């Protein structure tokens, strides 16, 4: 896996990670945060973010606009870009084959994102956040149902509300075999646009982020308990009435 530093903001560094059948942008928190979550946004304009098919400067402007709004929060926003148009197909085609194919891609992205963040010495919340998008509603509902308990569905405002209380300073970000210091950026300084290649060690097995396929919700278990108590009460009343009738 090869990660390229695409842009530096005040509190995040934006990396572009390239694979054969997909790529993704990821925001790595710096300086002030040592804990984050992986938040995935399926964007309908993902085609415009593909650096292979678009003007690089236009992509930079779009990426800056997207990531600036989360720069003050401990959010590791991930934006997937599929090379085989799966994200476009699922908007109009409820096809389990395509869903499973995209599910496989998303799982690989989650694991690679977790690997990058953990190698940066950043603690990652085990719950994945899916940013709401009505255009992908059917797939998102399918994905959330498959991974119940390990994913949440939130708007940007909801996500920002739960990630605004981390203030621990982090001055150095470390990757395998590479250390670099994040300096303070002046308020009027333009975002850095230089690109640096970053080799990431993929030999680590990430069991913590594996998404389970079987899960029973806590409230469902509670509801079953309530039903059992009700049935027991009803049976007790019936038996009491029968005994009373016999005795009389």
- Of 39, 42, 71, the closest CA to residue 154 belongs to 39
Eight-state DSSP code of residue 185: P
Contact 125, 35 (CB under 8 A): yes
Terminal C-alpha separation, the chain: 83
Q: What is the distance between the alpha carbons of residues 69 and 85, in angstroms, rounded to a whole number? A: 27
Measured between alpha carbons, how far is 23 from 113 in angstroms, rounded to an integer?
A: 11
Q: Measuring CA to CA, how many Å separate 58 from each of 53, 62, 111, 158, 190?
A: 11, 6, 29, 29, 16
Structure confidence at residue 244 (pLDDT): 60
Closest by CA to 112, choosing from 212, 17, 211, is 17
Residue 242 Ramachandran class (φ > 0 left, ψ -120 to 50 alpha, else beta): alpha
| Dist CA 92 CA 86 (whole Å) | 11
Q: 97: which 2 tokens?
A: 């084959």
What span, in angstroms and rounded, lies between the C-alpha atoms of 238 and 40? 54
H or E stretch including 231?
A: helix 218-247
Residues paired with 109 in a beta bridge: none
Q: Give the C-alpha separation, 72 to 70, whole Å.
A: 6
**162-196, pLDDT tens digit by residue?**
776 543 333 332 333 322 222 333 334 444 444 44
Per-residue pLDDT reduced to its tens digit, 206-223:
333 443 344 344 444 444
Name the more confident of 2 and 109. Answer: 109
What are the tens digits of pLDDT across the range 58-98? 999 999 999 999 999 999 999 999 988 889 889 888 888 99
Alpha carbon distance 168, 95 (integer Å): 45
pTM of the model: 0.67
Banded model confidence at residue 20, pLDDT cuts 50, 70, 90? confident
Angle of the 96-119 helix axis to the 137-146 helix axis, nearest 10: 70
């Amino acid at each position: 896996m090869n990660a390229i530093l695409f842009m530096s903001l005040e509190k995040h560094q934006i990396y572009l990670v390239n694979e054969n059948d997909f790529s993704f942008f990821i925001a790595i928190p710096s300086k002030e945060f040592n804990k984050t979550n992986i938040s995935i946004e399926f964007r309908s304009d993902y085609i415009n973010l593909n650096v292979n098919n678009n003007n690089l400067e236009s992509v930079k402007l779009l990426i800056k606009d997207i990531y600036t709004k989360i720069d003050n929060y401990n959010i590791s926003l991930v934006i997937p870009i599929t090379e085989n148009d799966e994200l476009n197909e699922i908007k109009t085609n409820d096809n389990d084959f395509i869903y499973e194919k995209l599910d496989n891609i998303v799982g690989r992205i989650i694991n690679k994102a977790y690997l990058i963040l953990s190698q940066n010495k950043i603690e990652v919340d085990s719950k994945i956040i899916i940013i709401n998008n009505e255009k992908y509603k059917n797939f998102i509902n399918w994905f959330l149902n498959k991974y119940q308990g390990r994913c949440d569905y939130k708007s940007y405002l909801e996500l920002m509300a739960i990630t605004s209380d981390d203030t621990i300073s982090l001055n150095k970000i470390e990757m395998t075999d590479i250390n670099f210091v994040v300096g303070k950026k002046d308020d009027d300084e333009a975002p850095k646009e230089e690109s640096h290649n970053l080799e990431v060690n993929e030999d680590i097995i990430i069991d913590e982020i594996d998404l389970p396929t079987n899960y029973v919700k806590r409230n469902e278990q509670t509801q079953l308990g309530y039903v059992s108590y009700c049935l027991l009460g009803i049976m007790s009343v019936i038996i009491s009435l029968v005994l009373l009738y016999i005795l009389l």
